[in-house]
Amino acid sequence: MKNIISINNSADLHKYISYQRFKHSGQVSLLAERLCIQYGTEPDKGRIAGLMHDIAREMSDELLLELAMTDGSKIMNWERNRPVLLHGRAGAVILKRDFGINDSEVLEALRNHVVGKPGMNLLSKIIFVADFLEPTRIFIDPGQRNRIMSMDIDPMLTEVLNMIFYHLKREEKEIAPPSISLYKELQSVKFR
């Protein structure tokens, strides 16, 4: 994959994110690579998407909005109200613009890792769950993590969404409409 050497150079990534976020991204990368192998897709793509998924996470709301406006998709009101939800879209713009990565699956995985959406490809699902389940996340009991990690990808994604929804409701934050649509899609697949 193009630019794999420069992306794996931590100095390149440290221009965009803090050391703490870099550690998290490294764990997401390792878990994503493992899940890609488990589910029979390209581990290099998982490693890159995992490493780069939060490249825009620490940017200002204004910059997130500015970058996301260049990706060709409309900014929705729920995104405008919580610009941090745009960091996946902004990250995909940065990955393409600054690193020359044009792989559609990797870019899509970055775009989708924050709130998800119906019809996600396998790599997007892997990055979404790896971001939530990586082992340094202290809000997940290790036994619960192991139980979830033993599932197939769609049930795993459903469990992660359930946990995210619970947390958002407790924090009295709105659940993004694409997350709800993704959950409904997963439920309809389960009952076919």
The per-residue pLDDT for 5 is 36
Overall pTM surpassing 0.85 (yes/no):
yes
Query: In this structure, what CATH number is given to the domain that contains residue 39?
Result: 1.10.3210.10
- Domain span including residue 92: 4-190
The per-residue pLDDT for 110 is 98
The Cα–Cα gap between 42 and 122 comes to 10
The Cα–Cα gap between 165 and 108 comes to 22
User: Is it the case that residue 113 has pLDDT exceeding 60?
Assistant: yes
| Averaged pLDDT for residues 159-170 | 96
Banded model confidence at residue 156, pLDDT cuts 50, 70, 90: very high
The per-residue pLDDT for 185 is 95
Counting Cβ atoms within 10 Å, is residue 111 exposed (0-12), middle (13-18) or buried (19+)? buried
Number of residues that make up the chain: 192
The Cα–Cα gap between 45 and 51 comes to 10
User: Is it the case that residue 86 has pLDDT exceeding 80?
Assistant: yes
Q: Which residue has the higher pLDDT, 1 or 125?
A: 125
| Averaged pLDDT for residues 11-38 | 92
The per-residue pLDDT for 11 is 60
42 SS3 class: coil
Question: By percentage, how much of the chain surpasses pLDDT 90?
Answer: 89
Q: What average pLDDT is seen over the chain?
A: 92
Torsion angle, CA of 177/179/184/188, rounded to 10 degrees?
Answer: 140
Alpha helices in the chain (DSSP H): 4-8, 10-14, 19-39, 43-52, 61-68, 77-81, 87-99, 104-112, 122-133, 142-149, 153-170, 177-190
User: Is it the case that residue 10 has pLDDT exceeding 80?
Assistant: no
Banded model confidence at residue 13, pLDDT cuts 50, 70, 90: confident
Domains identified in the chain, total number:
1
Residue type, 15: K
The per-residue pLDDT for 14 is 82
